[in-house]
C-alpha cells in the first residue's frame, strides 16, 4: 500500500482541560496541570494530544464559546503556559492538536460586539435578520417574529433579538454562541489567519467543531416541524450546506497546504453521511484527513431524541460501523471513537459498569473499537474504565444543554423524574467529572473544591491503582495501542464483518498481506460459544482480556466473565 501518512497509525488522546488536572487548587483543571501529567500519556503510548478549547471565553458552553481566538483564558493559564505544554508534548515525541470552533464565536467576541451596530462593516460577519411580521396568531413560538422557525441544539429558538440592533441574530447553539457568516470572505480570511498563527506557534493540527454546519443557505427558509415542539428543523439548510466543500478546500489551500505531511485535521460532523464523509476525506479533494461521524452514537436515541434513550441492539451497531468501514475502505479514512466530552461513558452505555464486569466490559469495548480500520480516539478516563456519574438531582448537573433541556421539558409538562433519568443516562456531564488520578478526596484532580463533584468510585477506579495492576483497563489500552504500532494489519488491513445477525458477539477480521486478525467481543455477561472455521483453532492469541492459562487468576473469573476478544494471527 505504501501509505505512510503518519496519522493512520496514530492514536489520539483527548484532554478536556477543565476536568483533567488542577495545578493551583481553584477546582478547575488548567494547562500546568496537563503539563505535569504528560507521562500518563507517554505510558499509554498515544501519539497525539487533542486539547479541548482553552481560549478566553465566558464559559457559557465550557469554552466552546470563544471571545478571543489568539490567547488563553486565565482560568487555564496564559500563552506562556501554553508554550510550555506544547514544548513538553513535542519533547516527548507527541503532537498537539487544537480545538477550532469557528462555526460560531462568543457573543462577547469583539467581532460580534462590533457587528451589533447595523452600520458596522462587521454587520455581515454574523446572520442578522429583521423580525418577521407575526402574521399567524396561532404561531406557537415565544415571540412569533423570529426570522424563521428553527430551534437551537440547546432548546429554545435559534434566534435572539438584540435591542441595540432592532434585529435578531442566528445561533444554532446557545444565545452566547452567534453563528459566523462564512458567506463573508473577510470572515474566512480572518479565520485562516488565526489558524496560521497557531500553526506557526507550533501546533500540529485542528479538531474542527461542527465544521459541517458552517455553510448555510442564505435564504434561511423555515424547516419541517420537529416532533410535537414549536420549532422547525433547520438542518436541511445548514447540514453539509451548499458551500461547505468549497470552504474547506479554500481552507486547505490557504492554511494546511503550507505544512505538507505534518498536520492532522479532523472535522466534527453531526449528521454526516458516509457519502459526504468520503468527499470530505478523499485526499484528491484536499479538504480534511478524517471526520467524526455520529451514527453509532445515535443508535440508542429513542423517538424523543437523545434524552429518551432506548437499549442498543448489537446488530444495529455492527451494521452501522460496517457500513462506515466499507464506505471509506478505498477512499478516505475513518476516525474511531466511543467517547468524548459530549457523550456518556461507554462502559456505562454499551457495556456493563457493575463491579463484576466493568473492567472486562471496558477492555472488550476498547478492543472492538481499536481494531477497526481508522484512527482511534481515547477520551480522558476512558483508559481507566471511568463510568457515568451518580447524579442525584438537577442541582448536580452543570452543562447548559442539560439545564436547558430540563427547564424546557418541565415547562412542557414532563415528569421531572423521567427527565432526570434521561439526563443521567445521556447527559454530557457524565464525561466531564474530574479525571480520577488516585483515591484521595479530590481524586488527585484538585486539592480544592472541584467545579463538578468527583465520581465517588474514584476510590477504586483510578490511574494510580490501574498502573499497578497488570490486568487493569489502563494496561489493556496500552497493549492495544502498542499492537497498532507494531502490527501493520491493524493499520492497513481490510475489514470483513462476521456474524452480522448475532445479538451477543461482535466479530470481524482484518487482513493484510500474509496476516489475518480475528476480533471477537462478547457483549453479554456470560460465556458465549462461537462456531469458528477450523483454521482458527491453531491461531495465535495476540491479545485477550481474559486471564490466560498460567496466570495467577481466580478460576471463578474464567467461568463467569464476558469472554474477551481473541486476536489470532495467521490463518
**Which of Ca ion, ligand ISL, none sits in contact with 24, Cβ below 5 to 8 A by type?**
Ca ion
Q: Which residues, numbered 17-36, are part of the site for ligand ISL (CB under 6 A)? A: none
CB of 55 to Ca ion, least distance (A): 16
Nearest distance, CB of residue 424 and ligand ISL, angstroms: 15
Residues 112-151 binding ligand ISL (CB under 6 A) are none
The catalytic position among 167, 179, 268, 487 is 268
Residue 51 or 517 having the CB closest to ligand ISL: 51
Residue with cell 463573508: 184
- Which one of 141, 171, 306, 372 is in contact with ligand ISL (CB under 6 A)? 306
| Greatest distance between any 2 Cα atoms in the chain | 78
Q: Which residue is nearest to Ca ion (CB)?
A: 30
How does DSSP assign 397-449, residue by residue? ---HHHHHHHHHHHHTT--HHHHHHHHHHH-GGGGTSPP--SSSTTTTT-SS-
Closest CA to 422 of 391, 467, 377: 391
Closest to ligand ISL by CB, 45 or 422? 422
271 interacts with ligand ISL by CB under 6 A: no
User: Does residue 28 belong to the site contacting Ca ion (CB under 5 A)?
Assistant: yes
- Asked whether position 229 contacts ligand ISL by CB under 6 A, the answer is no
CB 344 within 8 A of CB 430: yes
28 binds, options Ca ion, ligand ISL, none, Cβ within 5 to 8 A by partner type: Ca ion
Would you say 194 or 440 has its CB closer to ligand ISL? 194
In the bound state with ligand ISL, the residue whose beta carbon lies nearer, of 101 and 239, is 101
Q: Judged by CB under 5 A, does residue 26 bind Ca ion?
A: yes
Q: Which residues sit opposite 512 in a β-bridge?
A: 515
Candidate list 209, 396, 487, 566, residue with the active-site label:
209
Shortest distance (Å) from residue 283 CB to ligand ISL = 25
- If one asks whether residue 107 binds ligand ISL (CB under 6 A), the answer comes out as no
Would you state the cell numbers that stand for residue 410, as one nine-digit string?
418541565
From residue 50 to residue 89, the character string flagging contacts with ligand ISL as x (rule: CB under 6 A) and all else as - is -----------x--x-------------------------
Local structure of residue 435 (DSSP, 8 states): P
Interface region with Ca ion, contact rule CB under 5 A, candidates 24-32, 189-197, 211-219, 231-239:
24-32
DSSP 98: E
Q: Which does 327 bind (CB under 5 to 8 A by kind): Ca ion, ligand ISL, none?
A: none
H helices of 50-146, where?
A: 79-91, 110-115
Distance, first Cα to last Cα, the chain: 21
d(CA 411, CA 562): 43
The whole-angstrom separation of Cα 445 and Cα 349 is: 24
Cβ contact 127:158 at 8 Å: no
Q: In this chain, which of 107, 401, 429, 487 binds ligand ISL, going by CB under 6 A?
A: 401
425 binds ligand ISL (CB under 6 A): no
Quote the CA–CA distance of 163 and 170 in Å, as a whole number: 14
Nearest to 142 by CA among 69, 50, 231: 231
Report d(CA 35, CA 87) in Å as an integer.
Answer: 9
Query: Is 209 a known active-site residue?
Result: yes
Q: Are strands 335-336 and 12-15 parallel, antiparallel or unpaired?
A: unpaired
Q: Which of 371, 366, 566, 571 is nearest to 487 (CA)?
A: 371
Minimum separation from the CB atom of position 188 to ligand ISL (A)? 19
Stretch of residues binding Ca ion (CB under 5 A), selected from 23-31, 92-100, 107-115, 528-536? 23-31
| 268 noted as active-site residue | yes
CA distance 430 to 433: 6
Q: In the set 11, 18, 22, 487, which binds Ca ion (CB under 5 A)?
A: 22
List phi, psi (to 5°) of 104. Answer: -145, 165
Closest CA to 123 of 198, 184, 78, 173: 184
Determine phi and psi for 185, rounding to 5 degrees.
-60, -30
- The footprint of Ca ion (CB under 5 A) covers 22, 24, 26, 28, 30
The residues carrying an active-site annotation are: 209, 268
Q: What is the binding site for ligand ISL (CB under 6 A)?
A: 61, 64, 101, 153, 173, 209-210, 268, 270, 306, 341-342, 401, 428
Amino acid at each position: 500500500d505504501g501509505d505512510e501518512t503518519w496519522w493512520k497509525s496514530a492514536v489520539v488522546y483527548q484532554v478536556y482541560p477543565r476536568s483533567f488536572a488542577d495545578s493551583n487548587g481553584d477546582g478547575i483543571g488548567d494547562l500546568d496541570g496537563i503539563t505535569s501529567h504528560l507521562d500518563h500519556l507517554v505510558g499509554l503510548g498515544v501519539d497525539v494530544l487533542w486539547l479541548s478549547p482553552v481560549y478566553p471565553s465566558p464559559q457559557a458552553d465550557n469554552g466552546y464559546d470563544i471571545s478571543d481566538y489568539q490567547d488563553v483564558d486565565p482560568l487555564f493559564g496564559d500563552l506562556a503556559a501554553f508554550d510550555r505544554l506544547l514544548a513538553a508534548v513535542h519533547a516527548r515525541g507527541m503532537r498537539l492538536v487544537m480545538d477550532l470552533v469557528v462555526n460560531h464565536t462568543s457573543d462577547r467576541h469583539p467581532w460580534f460586539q462590533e457587528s451589533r451596530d447595523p452600520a458596522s462593516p462587521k454587520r455581515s460577519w454574523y446572520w442578522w435578520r429583521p423580525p418577521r411580521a407575526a402574521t399567524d396568531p396561532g404561531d406557537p413560538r415565544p415571540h412569533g417574529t423570529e426570522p424563521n422557525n428553527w430551534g437551537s441544539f440547546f432548546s429554545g429558538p435559534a434566534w435572539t433579538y438584540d435591542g441595540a440592533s432592532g434585529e435578531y441574530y442566528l445561533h444554532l447553539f446557545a444565545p452566547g454562541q452567534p453563528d459566523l457568516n462564512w458567506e463573508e470572505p473577510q470572515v474566512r480570511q480572518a479565520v485562516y489567519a488565526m489558524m496560521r498563527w497557531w500553526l506557526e506557534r507550533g501546533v500540529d493540527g485542528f479538531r474542527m467543531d461542527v465544521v459541517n454546519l458552517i455553510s448555510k443557505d442564505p435564504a434561511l427558509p423555515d424547516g419541517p416541524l420537529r416532533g410535537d415542539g414549536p420549532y422547525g428543523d433547520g438542518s436541511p439548510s445548514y447540514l453539509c450546506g451548499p458551500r461547505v466543500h468549497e470552504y474547506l478546500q479554500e481552507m486547505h489551500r490557504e492554511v494546511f497546504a503550507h505544512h505538507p505531511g505534518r498536520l492532522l485535521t479532523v472535522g466534527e460532523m453531526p449528521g454526516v453521511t458516509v457519502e459526504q464523509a468520503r468527499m470530505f476525506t478523499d485526499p484528491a479533494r484536499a479538504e480534511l484527513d478524517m471526520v467524526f461521524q455520529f451514527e453509532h452514537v445515535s443508535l440508542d436515541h429513542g423517538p424523543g431524541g437523545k434524552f429518551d434513550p432506548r437499549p442498543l441492539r448489537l446488530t444495529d451497531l455492527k451494521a452501522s460501523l460496517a457500513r462506515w468501514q466499507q464506505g471509506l475502505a478505498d477512499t478516505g479514512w475513518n476516525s474511531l471513537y466511543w467517547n468524548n466530552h459530549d457523550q456518556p461513558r461507554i462502559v456505562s452505555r454499551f457495556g456493563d459498569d457493575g463491579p463484576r464486569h466493568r473492567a472486562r466490559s471496558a477492555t472488550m469495548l476498547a478492543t472492538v473499537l481499536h481494531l477497526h480500520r481508522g484512527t482511534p480516539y481515547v477520551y480522558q478516563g476512558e483508559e481507566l474504565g471511568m463510568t457515568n456519574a451518580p447524579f442525584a438531582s438537577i442541582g448536580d448537573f452543570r452543562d447548559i444543554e442539560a439545564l436547558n433541556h430540563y427547564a424546557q421539558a418541565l415547562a412542557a409538562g414532563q415528569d421531572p423524574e423521567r427527565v432526570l433519568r434521561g439526563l443521567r443516562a445521556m447527559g454530557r456531564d457524565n464525561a466531564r467529572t474530574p479525571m480520577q488520578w488516585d483515591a484521595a478526596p479530590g481524586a488527585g484532580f484538585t486539592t480544592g473544591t472541584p467545579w463538578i463533584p468527583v465520581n465517588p468510585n474514584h476510590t477504586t477506579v483510578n490511574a494510580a491503582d490501574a498502573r499497578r495492576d497488570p490486568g487493569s483497563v489502563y494496561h489493556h489500552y496500552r497493549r492495544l495501542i502498542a499492537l497498532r504500532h507494531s502490527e501493520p494489519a491493524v493499520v492497513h488491513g481490510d475489514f470483513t464483518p462476521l456474524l452480522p445477525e448475532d445479538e451477543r458477539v461482535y466479530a470481524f477480521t482484518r487482513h493484510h498481506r500474509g496476516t489475518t486478525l480475528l476480533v471477537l467481543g462478547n457483549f453479554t455477561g456470560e460465556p458465549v460459544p462461537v462456531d469458528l472455521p477450523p483454521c482458527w483453532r491453531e491461531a495465535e492469541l495476540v491479545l485477550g482480556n481474559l486471564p490466560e492459562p498460567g496466570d495467577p487468576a481466580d478460576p471463578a473469573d474464567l467461568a463467569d466473565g464476558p469472554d474477551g476478544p481473541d486476536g489470532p494471527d495467521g490463518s
